[in-house]
Amino acid sequence: MRSEQQVEAALKSYEDVDSWKTIIFLYNAALKEVGTKLEILNDEFQHVHQYNPIEHIKTRIKTPDSIVKKLKRYGHETSIENMVRYVNDIAGVRLICSFTSDIYRLAEMIGNQSDLKVLSIKDYIKNPKESGYKSYHMLVSVPIFLSDSVVDTKVEIQIRTIAMDFWASLEHKIYYKFEGNAPEYISKDLQECAKMVSELDDKMLSLNEAIRECIAQQDKDQIQMNEELMNDVKTLVIDKYDGSLKAEHGTGRNMAPFVKYEWGEKAYRMMQAVKTLFDPLNILNPGVIFNDDPQCHIKNFKPLPLLGSSHRQPAENNKSTPDIGPIDKCIECGFCEVNCLTCGFTLSSRQRIVLQREISRLKESGENPQRLATLQKQYRYPGNQTCAGDGLCSTSCPMGINTGDLTHYIRQQELPEGSFAYSIGNFAANHFAGIKSSLRPMLTLANATHTVLGTSAMLTLTTGMHNLLGIPQWTPFMPKSYKRREKGDLSREKEREESQSDSNTGSQLSTFNSQLSTAFSRLASSASTT
C-alpha cells in the first residue's frame, strides 16, 4: 500500500529517532488533523442550523500493550511494519452524538472532505455485534505534511450516541476484567441492556421529531390566528362601519388582499391600470400594492431569524462577552439612524441588523452559499470596521437596543482572545500615545499623495490595497495630520491676534473720526450759507 511505503520511508528518514517514537508522532499528528477538522465541521453546523450535533470528542493512541496483544490475536509477529499494516485503530477518534440521525449526518460530512480518504466503513448500528455492541466505524487516511514528504496515516473514527457510548464503556470494563471470558449470564444481561439502550435511542429520536413537529404546528397555528384576525378586522371596519383600513398609511402585504373591499371593484381596477402604466414590467413591489391572492397576507412573511438566541447572557467565564439578545427585538423602524455616526457614510445601525438577519437566515437555510459568502465578505468594511460601537443608537431606539454590542460580538468572534490579531490590538491599546504620534506622518503622506494623484486615482489605488491587503480604506474625508502647539506658540499667536485687533480698532477709529470731522464741516458750511 502507498501509505505503508510512505511510513517506511518516513521511518528511514528519522535516523536519529527511535522508530516507535516516529510512528507515534505520525499518529498524533493525524489525530490533531482529524480533531481540528471535526471541530470546524461542528462549528459550521452550529452556524448554519443553530444546532450542535456533537456532544463531545474523544481521542486516544492505542497503548503498546494493546497493539502487541492485537497482533498476537491476529497471528502476526510484533513489528513496526506489521503494526502499521494490520492494526487500523492505533489512532482513534470517538464522536458522541445526541441522536442516531446525527451519526449518519456526520458520517456524510466526514466522507465529503476532499483531503480525507475513506478506506472502509463498518455499520454496527444496522448490523450490531453479537454482544449487542452498536457504533458506526469509519477508517480514514489523513495526509500528514512533513518538511520533506507527505505521509498518509490511518485514523479510526467511531460515531455513536450517548446511550451507545455508555453501554460500550461498561461492556469494555466488564470484559476487560474477565479477559474476554465472561460468564454466560453476564453476556445475556449485557445483550438485554443493549436492547434497552437501542429502545432508548429510538424513543429519544422520536421525541425529538415530535418536538420539531409541534413547533412547526405552532407556527401554522400562529399563521391561522393572524389570518382570522385580519379577516375579523376587515369585516368590522369595512362591512360594519364603512371605514378605512389603512388611513394615512401605505399598502403592505397585510393590507393588500383587502384594498379591493375598501375601494370597490371599479376603483381597484383603475388603480391597477395606473400601476401598469408606470410599471409595465411589474418590478415595483410585485404582489404587494395590488394582489389578487386572498391569502397573500399570510404568505411571504419577512424572516426575522434570531441573532442573540444563543448569546443572551454573557458567559460566566467571560464577562466581557456582550449580551446581544436584545437585538432580536428590533422592529427595523429606523429611529436609531438619527444618532448613528456612520448613517449615510457606510451603513446605519438598522441596516447592520437587517444584513445580519439575512446572513443568519442564509446560514440556517443553507439555500444560497454564494450569496452568504458575498454578504459576509462585503459586510466587513461598511458593517463591522466602520461601526463606532459607541451605543448612541440605543438612546433613540424604542427598545433600547445597542447595535454596538452586536459589532463588539462579531469582532470577538473574528478576533478571539489569544489570536495574533487580538495581540496586535491589545498592544495598540497599551501603546496608543506612541502609535498616534507615528500615524501623523502617515496622514501627511496620504494627504500629499492625494494632492499629487487626485481624488479619483487615490480612491482606485487605496481601494485595491484595501481589498488585497486589508488595510484601512482611504476616503476624501480622511483627516490631515495635526501638530500639537506648545504654550509658547499659543502665547505668541495670541499677542499677534491682539496686536492685529488693536491695529484694526485704531484704523476703524481713525476712519470714524475723519468721517465725523467731514460731517461737522458740512454742517458749519451749511449754517454760514444760511
- List the catalytic residue out of 4, 55, 130, 156: 156
Torsion of CA 192, 193, 197, 198, to 10 degrees: -20
Q: What is the dihedral of CA 340, 345, 348, 354, to 10 degrees?
A: -170
Q: With contact defined as beta carbons under 8 Å apart, do 30 and 91 qualify? A: yes
Please state the φ and ψ torsions of residue 362, each to the nearest 5 degrees: -65, -35
156 part of the active site: yes
Of 40, 36, 38, 50, which is closest to residue 366 (Cα–Cα)?
50
Collect contacts of 222-227 with beta carbons under 8 A, ≥24 apart: 223/298, 224/298, 226/297, 226/298, 227/295, 227/297, 227/298
**Do residues 308 and 327 make contact, with C-beta atoms less than 8 angstroms apart?**
yes
CB count in 10 Å sphere of residue 478 = 14
Nearest of 158, 111, 156, 118 to residue 134 by alpha carbon: 158
Distance of CA 16 to the CA centre of its chain: 47
Question: CB-based contacts of 294: which residues, under 8 Å, 6+ apart?
Answer: 257
Amino acid at 157: I
Other C-beta atoms lying within 10 Å of the C-beta of residue 464: 10
Please tell me the distance from the alpha carbon of residue 387 to that of residue 396, in angstroms, as a whole number: 17
Q: Are 326 and 394 in contact (CB under 8 A)?
A: no
* Number of neighbouring beta carbons within 10 Å of residue 12: 10
C-alpha cell of 491?
A: 502665547
- 397 touches 326 (CB < 8 A): no
Active site residues: 156
